[in-house]
Amino acid sequence: MKIAINYLPVKNAHKVRGIGYYTNLLLEFLKQDTSIQIQEFINLSEVKDANLVHYPWFDLFFHTLPIKRRLPTVVTIHDVMPLVFPEHYPVGLRGKINFILQEIALKSCNYIITDSKVSKIDIMKHLKIEDEKITVIPLASDPTFEILSNDTKLLHIKRQYRLPDQFLLYVGDANWVKNLPFLIEGFRQLIKSPGFKDIKLVLVGGVFLKDVENINHPELQSLKSVNQLIKQYKLEANIIRPGQLKDDDLVSFYNLATMYVQPSVYEGFGLPVLEAFACGTPVISSNRGSLPEVGGQAAVYFDPDDLKQFVSIMTELLENKSLLDKLSRLGLQQAAKFSWKKVAEQTKSVYLKALKND
């Protein structure tokens, strides 16, 4: 079976985002299957003798998918967030035209892969795709995310980044859906209590080091709000922003964190939750979108609109070491349910179905 996979997300701005991560690991694990020959391409004209084409991402507002297809085609759509919350993702005329072209192109594809049941429902509703054409294949954390027994490495990272004994961790972007102003407000209330005044909040992501004050763009508004709140509440000394981390360092951050927090108002999957689980880090998470699918019974959930509940949960957990230990054990069990071997096997099944039914 010869599969042509478009590897553009590994080469463009997506390479440090979830789409690049997915494409990289999917390629790595599919190549381990001797029954599959992989051809990587950027332009469809490069594909010569493949049996099937896979686009591992789908851009709603850029015309990336050919309307005419000569081979069976599979597309991965991670989420359709801009269609679920259109008021937060304004689109220009060109974007609207591209969306129409993408919709037309999508209709001729054999199968669609998506990361969660929630995303499948969204795709069916907003892109009018029938149920049987969509397969849910949950992602997994990179195998490098694990509990570290190397205390020297952890101590080195702790000193290098001046990390305290106790800190809350967030990893990711800072757009509206991530709900970070809510996180800042909750953290501010938490450290008002004398017992928690030394706890720090660590925000990992290159976006947190960007100078955006003089840039007018709707997607930067949430980050601006975060920066303004940190300044307004004089939290500069309480919040650590190390920027984008190499995976090795990020694994150490998860291992060192007291708790991982995912405050999003919505997620198509929520990979950092699984990464935290795999490192034995207790997780508290919003109860929206796909996050309960990913977290199962291993996370403690809160309403991302209820600040009082959020602060109460953080307080209760930080005061209860045995409960944190229990969450750590449950998280490891939950992470073990997901693997890239499974992702590759289930993706291969979709390929075989597409070839059979084309």
56 lies in some domain: yes
How far is residue 81's CA from residue 158's CA, in Å, rounded to a whole number? 36
Count how many domains the chain has: 2
Reported as a single tens digit per residue, the pLDDT across 69-118 is 889 999 999 999 999 999 988 899 999 999 999 999 999 999 999 999 99
Whether 287 and 351 share a structural domain: no
Same domain flag for 63 and 97:
yes
* Same domain, residue pair 130 and 160: no
Diameter over CA atoms, the chain: 67
Angle formed by the axes of helices 151-160 and 247-256, nearest 10°: 100
189-192-196 Cα angle (round to 5): 100
Distance, CA of 355 to CA of 55 (rounded, Å): 15
242-268: pLDDT as tens digits: 999 998 999 999 999 999 999 999 999
Same domain, 41 and 105: yes
The string of DSSP codes covering 103-134 is HHHHHT-SEEEES-HHHHHHHHHHH---GGGE
By DSSP bridging, strand 73-76 and strand 52-55 are parallel
Contact yes or no for 239/203 (Cβ under 8 A): yes
Smallest CA-to-CA distance from 61 within 26, 43, 86 is with 86
Residue 116 falls inside a structural domain = yes
* 171, 275: one domain: yes
Q: How confident is the model at residue 56 (pLDDT cuts 50, 70, 90)?
A: very high
Q: Which two tokens stand for residue 190?
A: 């938490």
Q: Is residue 216 part of a domain?
A: yes
CA-CA distance, 326 to 299, in Å (whole number)? Answer: 10
pLDDT at 223 over 80: yes
Domain co-membership, 164 together with 185: yes
Whether the predicted pLDDT of 15 surpasses 80: no
CA angle 274–277–278, rounded 5-degree value: 85
CB-count exposure of residue 266 (10 Å: 0-12, 13-18, 19+) = buried
Residue range 178-221, pLDDT digits in tens: 999 999 999 999 999 989 999 999 999 999 988 877 666 666 78
Do 189 and 279 share a domain, yes or no? yes
Asked if 41 and 55 touch (Cβ cutoff 8 Å), the reply is: no
**Using an 8 Å Cβ cutoff, are 353 and 111 in contact?**
yes
Domain limits for position 46: 2-140+339-357
| Total-model pTM | 0.94
pLDDT of residue 147: 97
One domain for residues 159 and 306: yes
CB atoms within 10 A of CB 182: 19
Q: Does residue 145 lie in a domain region?
A: no
pLDDT of residue 167: 98
Considering the domain architecture, whether residues 17 and 117 belong to the same structural domain is answered as: yes
Beta-ladder partners of 55? 75
* Phi, psi values for residue 146, rounded to 5°: -160, 170
If asked whether residues 78 and 121 sit together in one domain, one would say: yes
Region for residue 343 given its phi and psi (left: phi exceeds 0; alpha: psi -120 to 50; beta: otherwise): alpha
In a domain, 263, yes or no: yes
CATH of the domain at 304: 3.40.50.2000
Do residues 222 and 108 both lie within one domain? no
For 283, the enclosing helix (H) or strand (E) is strand 283-286
Whether residue 146 is contained in a domain is answered as no
CB contact burial 249-265 (16+ within 10 A = b; e otherwise): bbbbbbbbbbbbbbbbb
104 and 192 belong to one structural domain:
no
Mean residue pLDDT across the chain: 94
